[in-house]
Structure 1
Amino acid sequence: MNLHKPTLRLLCASMLVGISGAFKLHITFLFLGIAPDARTYLAGFLIIYATYTLDRAMDCEEDKVNRKDLASSRKDIAIAFCLFSFALGSWLLYQQDLLAISFIPIFSGYLYSKGLALGSRKVKLKGNFGMKNLAVSLTWGLFISGIVQRWADIGKVLFFVFPFFTIKSFINTVIYDFRDVKGDAIAGIKTLPICLGEGNTRKLLQFMHIVIHLWIAASMLLNFINPEVALLVTFFSAGIIYTGFLTKSSPASEPRIRKLMRDAIVDGEFIMALLIKTVTGF
């Protein structure tokens, strides 16, 4: 089958973030001393891939500016892929008695896009200050925590897994807001770089980054989680790089090297961390 190039680009666009999701699960298992489970990792990949691809396939105002290369793609084909991927991922989680967890990303995406009805009033989340970042970060935190609680102590889930992935994901989504400033401004989405300014947003992200990694280091010293030194050092170093160098709005024609750097360090951070751990043995 000869797929239309923009359609193929759409289908592949969320592959890295899906793979990263599987690596996040594996790394969480390492921190908590849980035996590896390939089926769970695959389920995580499939559901995350489906959620992000569906988001890209659903046309919205900011995407007309931020994702022009996907404008002519076949959205029907992408949605079919999403449905298959989500169904398979949900079935795999069902085998682990985690079916309800598979609906967290989809439900969160719907709630963000459509809002919440409270009686005769409707609370709209999309476009409000920081809501996109909060919705995405809470989704990551809840999804990974919801899976891991099947095997882990609830205290470790609440005080390590949930805050770690929520804060890391919040930082990562804001990094991408610097890339999408123009499209978000046109769509009226109040992101942190637009509302707080680049400098203040950068300082906020760096503060959050340092605090969460100090918490991880303290958790290791207290034997609350396994002492995965290579992972901690990689996460901290990568975060210092992207909160320092990728917190500037992208030009209209973004250099390819900057895009590759952002994808590799932000979306590929957990993949890189596991590779470094494997090579160093720490």
Structure 2
Amino acid sequence: MERKNHALSTENTTAAAIHNALFALLPSSVERFLGALIYSSAYLSLIAMAEVVIVSALLALPPSPAALVVGLIVFAIYANDRLADADTDAVSNPRQAAFVKRHRDVLYVLASVAYGLAVALSVLGGPIALAITLFPGALWVCYATDWVPGTGAHVRRLKDIFLLNTTVVALAWAVTLTFLPLAFADGAVTESVLIVFCYFFLRVFTNTEIPNVRDIEGDRAIGVLTIPVVFGVDRTRQFLLGIDLCTGALVVFAARSGYLAPGLGLALLAGIAYSVGVSSLIGRYDNERLLARIAECEYIVVFTALVIVVLLS
């Protein structure tokens, strides 16, 4: 067993070294662009836009500005979150913290413009679309800050409360991803819609906790309670694998019951299989930062699978 663990550690270290070496070979302009894309949270907005396309395909919704609105919201909120946590992130994510501090003013302006544009575009979808657009921003205030607007009172941040922190994030994005394109299409809430909502709630929950493994030392130092901090890495891996299996069971049920087309269900299962592979590496792969980035690509897998399903149908 000791030799096996040593071999695994050596393999992980080698993989991390290869990744760093390949990144170092990139031209400086490309490296700066990728750094800005990752550290500013812009890449998350692109993934979020792909998620809205997935929702639209699952629910047979027509094209709308919803994908652009969600992309702008995601950029604005995550950029502001990184600005708010720049000092504490210096422990767990020094490169990101340094980038955010260096470009603080620009990020503030871009985040403000992005959210303003998102709100303006959401008006096209009516009052419900506007309310959904404002929803994640309102939750973020409670999640990332300790003050109550207009009162000067200070309360405990939701980000510091065990399980509630991840649940709030999953709820905010599951609501936005599922119901914003539905609001633009003036669609009704059906069983299929609720299943899609549950699917995204479970997926976002999982993809929120995986980066927390990377940040375990930093979170412990500042008193943020996450599943890895409370239960440790091995228990976290088991817990997230359990969520993956529950999500797979939900998708199988939805496909067999006629709430989702079988081909669409297979595309979702491809993403879940990808997530199982990533979750199984928690605590077993040295480059936890890379693992967290890989986990966020689950929706790219689903998007690609959906394209294949559409082309073959």
State the TM-score, normalizing by the size of structure 2: 0.77
Q: For residues 10 and 53 of structure 1, do their structure 2 counterparts lie closer, same or farther at Cα, with a shift above 3 Å needed?
A: farther
Match of 1:64 in 2: 90
What does residue range 154-165 of structure 1 map to in structure 2 within 5 Å? 154-156=189-191, 159-165=194-200
* Matched position secondary structure for 2:225: coil
Q: How large is the RMSD of aligned CA atoms in angstroms?
A: 2.7
Equivalences, count: 270
The separation in 2 between residues aligned to 1:215 and 1:66, in whole angstroms, is 34
Q: For residues 181 and 123 of structure 1, do their structure 2 counterparts lie closer, same or farther at Cα, with a shift above 3 Å needed?
A: closer
- Per mean C-alpha deviation after superposition, the further-off stretch among 225-234 and 139-148 is 225-234
Q: For residues 166 and 115 of structure 1, do their structure 2 counterparts lie closer, same or farther at Cα, with a shift above 3 Å needed?
A: farther
Gaps of 5+ in 2: 1-28
Match of 1:103 in 2: 134
Amino acid at match of 1:89: A
Match of 1:278 in 2: 307
The one-character-per-residue Cα deviations of 1:57-113 (angstroms, maximum 9, x if unpaired) are 223553121221232422111010001111112211111111121112211111112
Match of 1:180 in 2: 215
Task: State the percentage of identical aligned residues.
Answer: 20
The separation in 1 between residues aligned to 2:36 and 2:84, in whole angstroms, is 11
Match of 2:278 in 1: 242
The separation in 1 between residues aligned to 2:54 and 2:134, in whole angstroms, is 22
Cα contact 2:44–2:74 (8 A) shared by 1: yes
**Which has more radius of gyration?**
2
Q: CA deviation at 1:211?
A: 1.0
Match of 2:67 in 1: 41
Q: CA deviation at 1:232?
A: 2.0
Q: For residues 57 and 168 of structure 1, do their structure 2 counterparts lie closer, same or farther at Cα, with a shift above 3 Å needed?
A: same
The separation in 2 between residues aligned to 1:45 and 1:65, in whole angstroms, is 28
Gaps of 5+ in 1: none
Q: For residues 90 and 193 of structure 1, do their structure 2 counterparts lie closer, same or farther at Cα, with a shift above 3 Å needed?
A: same
Match of 2:80 in 1: 54
Amino acid at match of 2:53: H
Q: Does 1:205 align with 2:235?
A: no
Amino acid at match of 1:33: A
Q: Does 1:18 align with 2:45?
A: yes
The separation in 1 between residues aligned to 2:34 and 2:241, in whole angstroms, is 36
Cα contact 1:144–1:161 (8 A) shared by 2: no
Cα contact 1:54–1:82 (8 A) shared by 2: yes
The separation in 1 between residues aligned to 2:56 and 2:125, in whole angstroms, is 15
Amino acid at match of 2:109: A
* Matched position secondary structure for 2:261: coil
Q: For residues 199 and 237 of structure 1, do their structure 2 counterparts lie closer, same or farther at Cα, with a shift above 3 Å needed?
A: same
